[in-house]
Amino acid sequence: MFISRNLKIYQDTMKYTTIYLNENTIEIFNSIIGRETIKLNGEIVTSKFSITGTEHHFRITENEEEADCKIITGFGLSGVVIDLYKNNEPIIESPKMGCVGVFLVTFLISTLISLYEKFF
């Protein structure tokens, strides 16, 4: 399995990543208005609107056997993150701490600095 993170603009969509999973190619696109599109071997298999991330479900064929796939998109410390599961087994798992964690840490630090300046 190889991942290619070439950001390419196609009309109003951005190709976020390409995942090579055995003989299958999974591409993840996002549009300026928040439509996420998943392509399997060049064909659209799922498309949803999302601002903060969503789940996509589809099926792939490997070695003449069907497998259920799930892609979860969202935001993490490094930006957009994805998780890929095949038959409920993790293939790609991203760090789980999202933007909320960054916000809370920033809020806590700024509060402590404010209190320090006020009392010292």
Phi, psi values for residue 109, rounded to 5°: -65, -45
Number of domains in the chain: 1
pTM of the model: 0.70
The per-residue pLDDT string of the chain (120 residues; one tens digit each, 9 = 90 and over) reads 444 555 444 456 788 899 999 999 999 998 888 899 999 999 999 999 988 889 999 999 998 999 999 999 987 776 788 999 999 999 998 876 556 666 677 778 888 888 878 777
Instruction: Please tell me the distance from the alpha carbon of residue 60 to that of residue 76, in angstroms, as a whole number.
Output: 27
Tabulate helix, strand, coil % of the chain (nearest 5).
Answer: 20, 55, 25
Q: Which long-range contacts (CB under 8 A, 24 or more apart) does 53-62 make?
A: 60/21, 60/24, 60/26, 60/86, 61/24, 62/21, 62/22, 62/23, 62/24
What per-residue confidence (pLDDT) applies to 6? Answer: 52
**CA gyration radius, the chain:** 18
Give the domain extent around 71: 2-119
**At CA 99, angle to CA 10 and CA 112, rounded to 5?**
145
